[in-house]
Amino acid sequence: MIILHAIWTDRTLHLWAETGAPETPGKKRRKAAKPVAKAGKKTGPIHPFAADAGAIREALPSVSSDFGMFRPTAATLTLRLPTAEARPLPSTPLLGQSGPGVSDQKPHLDLAEWTVPSLVFTGLEALDALTSLPAEFPSGFLGGDSLRYWMRAGAMAMELLVRQRFVPDFVIERGAGRAVWRALPDDDALGRMSQLSASCPPVCRAATDAAPEQLLREFIDSAVDAFVRDRLSGEVKKIAKHRKTAGTIYQQWLTALTSPDPTIKQQEQYLQAFRRDFNGWTEPLRSRDDKAFHACFRLIPPEDPETSDGWNLGFHLRAREDHSLMIEAAAVWQTQSNAAIVLKRRVNNPQELLLAELGKASRLFPPLERALESACPVGDRLTTGEAHRFLIEGAPLLEQAGFGVMAPPWWRNPSGQLGIKLAVRPFEKKEGSGLFGLESIVEFDWKIALGEHLISFDEFRRLASLKVPLVQVRGQWVEVRPDDIQKALKALQNQPAGQLTLGQLLRLGAGDGRDIAGLPVTGIEAEGWIADLLDPSADVAHRPGKQPKEFVGELRPYQLNGLGWLSFLDRFGLGGCLADDMGLGKTIQLIALLLQERENVNVKEKIGPTLILAPMSVVGNWQREIAKFAPTLSCLVHHGADRQAGKKFKKAATAGDVVISTYGLARRDREHLGRVNWRRVVLDEAQNIKNPAAKQTQAVRALPAGRRLALTGTPVENRLTELWSIMNFLNAGYLGGAEDFRKNYAVPVEKFGDQKKAGRLKTLVQPFLLRRLKTDKTIIKDLPEKQEIKVFCNLTKEQATLYAAVVKDMMAKIEQAEGIERHGQVLSAMMKLKQVCNHPAHFMKDNSKAGGRSGKLERLTEMLEETLENGERALVFTQFTEMGDILRPHLQERFGREALFLHGGVGQKARDEMVARFQDPAGGPPIFILSLKAGGVGLNLTAASQVFHFDRWWNPAVEDQATDRAYRIGQTRNVQVYKYVCAGTMEERIDQMIEKKKKLAQSVIGAGESWLTELSTEELRRVFELSAEAVGE
């Protein structure tokens, strides 16, 4: 595991890293030198766990592909870090090589200097590097507290840049002038910056003595300066000819603002004179002080709209922190003392304060100078043109400078916006004549509307004849741009109706399309199935599907709603993503759809096959679920060395109902799978195509299919491009090309926090994505309090080889043994086979790597990923302490989160501490691994809503007792219990035997596993043997 850290010092960003990788043969970890703290010491010993600069440079592109564009330089950095026993402490327990100890002794800690290799990012690259990092790091990486802090600081800087909260400045340093850009945060941003600096981790100051507030402000100003300077350098080329050595100091300052070199070399007297002039010019911006009250301007429209100068701009003093505390200027001038009281709040020298505020404001909005001609100004009369100028120019400037503005409620209100309202209907095409899709044509009529009210042609023409920017229509003030009005008038006369594709209509409805005739689309009224598509929530809520007759079992109400939604999209050839929480039954909703479409067609009509692509770890589960809930469907599993190819495969696939295969084979068998004209392609765990550039994703997208569906509990894991990749598979081109999507949505939302773009994207995706959560009230009432679900997993080839070898060896010994010896041999064989099913490293006890070698571990990792994504906590039970030792470091490295491990070797104090941390509602470690004997009784772990039995005790009473750690009094959520079984192995056959004998559970199974020793040798052989279906890819 690699822990990434960030240090901001000397206006540069240093990234360094700790590594928790275990020792590897032939490579020794650096030996720590004893640190010695001496006055004036510049460097300390090399940090023994720090990654070198080359390793950091190589690793960063795995965290974010954007790092391939950066060119940081290698350096070293000396940090003051907590140290014990001559070694720096790891920054996180995740770097520890073992679980919590039982010792209560704590080592003595000191701060000592350590030298770490780093990569240095300067200027704009520092900001770009921080804002390029994902919120969730990929497996094997973790962002340390310092890096997370500077990522938040980078986001704050980007927010100020997007809001254009920055100004040019001039400073004198070491006898030279510098032209710089600095941030100008408003009161809200200042408050959040104060909170952010208060949360600064101590390690951020490991290389400096600067206060957190100073560090943060220096970073934000540096980031703002680098960003603005970079953007202006290409825009103001004409200024470049005015070199710093020529022209006035004013010209030099302007040139320096857009130049890589900000310095201005002039004599001290000229620099100081310019400083005085500059201060006078920027006084309104610099004078934002800590006074409790500031000036506030309120614009009131005229009562008579025919009065051209009837707009009143009222003056007030308003409390900065509580905008409900306000006093009119007239009341200020009536004050007889040097203080006024506003709702028990004292305002000192209110008359002087108001005049001073008005004087500053007049520099930003010159018409205010008229009011200052009065000794006691209370307001100003504005013409309609001045009122419009105040709204679009003056008000934003005044607000940026710290003044209050109260605009009329209709200003920038969509309900008062002049726009286009579309009346849309399906094109004349019968539903049964084929698929519709996003390219299907819809017809529309359009009319001019003011909010919800339509405007007649004559009324609109009257508006077009007016030459003022603000007019009153039906008692409501509206901004009118003459050019747009004339353009819309001409278009309305020439083409009052038209056609759009369905995709264009949906983009218009989301505010993502172009204006029509120069005016925005403010409303869409649709008929028929288009209305249903534009309001998918209503379709789901009121049109549940009908359970197919041949479905074995009963669908819950929310599952019938899901079936109805899938059927609706399917009917019109539109792709959809079913993104329900794990455990809500995405699989059976799809199976019900397959049955339903066969019930709805003529007996003689052939329904084409559906291809289901899934991770190898769930192929067996799909096969069993189809056999259980839809036994009338014919199912072909396409995987394994003896899988069919060419014409034979095409014939077999076309003859059946369902073909199940894997993502890996979609790439390797692309030619064979591409020969079949699939009715539908379904992606289970669709996040497997989250990388749009991957060959696997490209192969999946190329598969021919009339319909496409995606099933996933995590449509977005780290980046919005993952959502684009899934949506592009479902409805190609709907969200635009990859680069357009990145520019229009991914960058604005992820880097700049653009909530408007985020809302627009949500509206675009909503018709094609259905997500229900277990926490939804309508879902909770449909769920049992405790669900038990079998999870069937495949063995890897390595596991299968070991399994077969163990069976062969143990059966030879069992055949030769009798009595108590045979009893022991059977139990020994079962133990070894359990270990093989768990993980090869568990059986061989060789401390080898964990990833990619166990079907169970791969499936557990996938399911825990969704659990953590949903903010839930999980218990993982195993009867083997050795397996817990494998699980803990693997899961910690995979998720970058601490996993607790309770086993028999943990003392009572440490045990209690683990339970308290896991139960902490403020957020403790989300994964708790427990050995069945140590954690199966006596614990209250109701923070968990997911329980995983990684291996089986084959005693329902013991397993239920362990499950009840989460499912007990105090549990407020539904609990889902997953019991892992390796398909085609001893585990599946014993599970089947237990299911058959449930009625005799106490007498037959209650004694544990010893009853299995009474089976005959031939019965044992059938139990132990390995089936062909057991092996994955």
Q: Is 951 exposed, middle or buried (0-12, 13-18, 19+ CB in 10 A)?
A: buried
Predicted confidence at residue 489, as pLDDT, reads 78
Q: Rounded to whole angstroms, how far apart are CA atoms 578 and 568?
A: 13
Task: For residue range 634-687, list pLDDT tens digits in order.
Answer: 999 998 888 899 999 999 999 999 999 999 999 999 999 999 999 999 999 999
- Per the listing, tokens 């802090």 go with 149
Predicted confidence at residue 76, as pLDDT, reads 95
Residue 303 predicted with pLDDT over 60? yes
The sheet that has 874-878: what strands, in order across it?
786-793, 975-982, 946-949, 874-878, 927-931, 899-902
Task: For residue range 687-708, list pLDDT tens digits in order.
Answer: 999 889 899 999 999 999 989 9
E strand or H helix at 120, and its extent? Answer: strand 110-122
Structure tokens that stand for 981 in this block: 């079984």
Task: For residue range 238-277, list pLDDT tens digits in order.
Answer: 545 444 445 688 888 988 898 888 998 888 888 899 988 8
Q: Is 755 exposed, middle or buried (0-12, 13-18, 19+ CB in 10 A)?
A: exposed
Across 22-26, 740-744, 939-943, least confident range: 22-26
Across 159-163, 166-170, 324-328, 774-778, least confident range: 774-778
The C-alpha angle 688, 692, 698, rounded to 5 degrees, equals 85
Residue 347 predicted with pLDDT over 60? yes
Residue 285 predicted with pLDDT over 70? no
With a CB cutoff of 8 Å and minimum separation 6, the contacts of 816 are: none
Q: Is 335 exposed, middle or buried (0-12, 13-18, 19+ CB in 10 A)?
A: middle
Average pLDDT value for the chain: 84
Structure tokens that stand for 93 in this block: 């327990």
Task: For residue range 359-393, list pLDDT tens digits in order.
Answer: 989 989 999 999 999 999 999 999 999 999 999 99
Tell me how far CA of residue 440 lies from CA of 176, 182, 368, 501, 730, in angstroms. 66, 51, 56, 5, 16
Is 145 within 8 Å of 3 (Cβ atoms)? no
Task: For residue range 1018-1031, list pLDDT tens digits in order.
Answer: 888 888 888 877 77
Predicted confidence at residue 656, as pLDDT, reads 92
Q: What share of the chain is helix, strand, coil (3-state, %, to 5)?
A: 45, 20, 35
Predicted confidence at residue 345, as pLDDT, reads 65
Is 680 within 8 Å of 610 (Cβ atoms)? yes
Predicted confidence at residue 969, as pLDDT, reads 53
Q: Rounded to whole angstroms, how far apart are CA atoms 171 and 227?
A: 19
Q: What is the pTM of this model?
A: 0.77
Task: For residue range 488-516, list pLDDT tens digits in order.
Answer: 777 777 776 778 888 888 888 777 656 67
Q: Rounded to whole angstroms, how far apart are CA atoms 950 and 863?
A: 12
Percent over 90 (pLDDT), the chain: 44
Q: In this predicted model, which residue has the larger pLDDT, 679 or 342?
A: 679
Q: In this predicted model, which residue has the larger pLDDT, 211 or 783?
A: 211
Task: For residue range 806-864, list pLDDT tens digits in order.
Answer: 999 999 999 888 889 988 999 999 999 999 999 999 999 988 888 889 999 999 999 99
Average pLDDT over residues 752-757: 82
Amino acid identity, position 58: E
Domains of the chain: 2-143 (no CATH), 160-281 (no CATH), 293-406 (no CATH), 537-780 (3.40.50.10810), 787-1030 (3.40.50.300)
Q: Is 599 exposed, middle or buried (0-12, 13-18, 19+ CB in 10 A)?
A: exposed
Average pLDDT over residues 80-99: 78
Closest listed residue to residue 1013, CA positions, set 829, 832, 809, 812:
829
Predicted confidence at residue 25, as pLDDT, reads 35
Other Cβ atoms within 10 Å of 701 Cβ, number = 16
Q: In this predicted model, which residue has the larger pLDDT, 314 or 481?
A: 314
Closest listed residue to residue 369, CA positions, set 382, 358, 385, 353:
358
Task: For residue range 31-63, list pLDDT tens digits in order.
Answer: 444 443 433 445 789 999 999 999 999 999 988
Q: In this predicted model, which residue has the larger pLDDT, 602 or 301?
A: 301
